[in-house]
Amino acid sequence: MRSLLRFLVRNFAFLLFLFLEAVSLVLVFNYNSFQRSRFLNSANYISASFYNATSSVFQYFELARVNKELANENAYLLSVLDEGTLEEISVSDSIITTLELPDSNFVFRAARIINNSANKQQNYITLNKGLEDGIKADQGILSPQGVVGVVTSVSNSYASGLSLLNPRWSISAKLKNSGYYGSLRWDGQNYRQADLLEIPIHVNLAQGDTLVTSGYSSIFPEGLLIGTILSFDKPQGENYYNIKVKLAVDFKSIRYVHVIENVKKEELKALENEVVLDGAGNN
């Protein structure tokens, strides 16, 4: 204790300088938007670069498993292309850098996950592609197993977003058999399960029913796999089921994804905004 006091007394001027310097930097970043944005962008770039380096190490030790997955995806892609069914093309080859389907509004860009969490209350994903690769905010993220999440922030070389394991985000999902749709939201507990909301109790359900994207958004095309019904019940006095869904994606093992761009998204948003404004003007 006495040695610590001597050290503090001897270096008081230097320690005071460091303290005042830290306070001044905090004030600069908090009250100046330009400096704050530059600092956040630099911090994000440094952390993303670190994630990219560590991810490359882990990737090397998983080459055998990844090669097997790619072979299976190639076989599936070839069979789907041969059948000519556009709806199931969601599972595309991770080797392809950009896949633009004929007569489709969607472009698929391959990316690698360099940081991912599955055991927090709010989970995020970081990708090794950014603005330079055509990645933008509000684009969907898809793995060979199914829907993963949505891009929220992008830098020149990296992108991050919310996964399905984040209660801040919900996705419009429909039952493949009946066509009834509702909202899928993570319950914050099991990383392999989520809740399907707003399905009326008169709809016939069965364990194992497939859940896919509804197409009622500009982020995902219709028919992409989300999961299957794990269990359900009818709460007394309620109009909607309690439905547990087993997610198709194992968020603790995914490595490669595709980022989905809707090339006509801005046109669609402009039209919808025009309808809203016209409706407000008529009231």
pLDDT in tens, 70-97: 655 554 454 444 444 444 444 333 334 4
Does a structural domain hold residue 253? no
Does a structural domain hold residue 148? no
Does a structural domain hold residue 54? yes
Q: For residue 70, count other CB atoms closer than 10 A to its CB.
A: 15
pLDDT of residue 88: 42
Residue 207, domain extent: 171-247
Contact 164, 250 (CB under 8 A): no
Question: 212 pairs with which residues across the strands?
Answer: 174, 225
Domain end among 29, 45, 60: 60
pLDDT of residue 267: 83
Does a structural domain hold residue 218? yes
What is the rounded CA–CA span in Å between residue 87 and residue 85?
6
pTM of the model: 0.67
Q: Which candidate, 182, 185, 170, 239, places its Cα nearest to that of 209?
A: 182
Q: Report in angstroms the alpha-carbon separations of 22 from 8, 25, 28, 46, 231.
A: 18, 5, 10, 20, 54
Among 98-107, 145-154, 188-197, 217-226, name the one with the lowest average pLDDT. Answer: 98-107
What is the rounded CA–CA span in Å between residue 56 and residue 85?
35
pLDDT of residue 90: 41
Domain end among 25, 60, 95: 60
Number of domains present in the structure of the chain: 2
* CATH number of domain containing 183: 2.40.10.350
Give the chain's mean pLDDT: 78
Does a structural domain hold residue 213? yes
Does a structural domain hold residue 240? yes
Does a structural domain hold residue 201? yes
Does a structural domain hold residue 243? yes
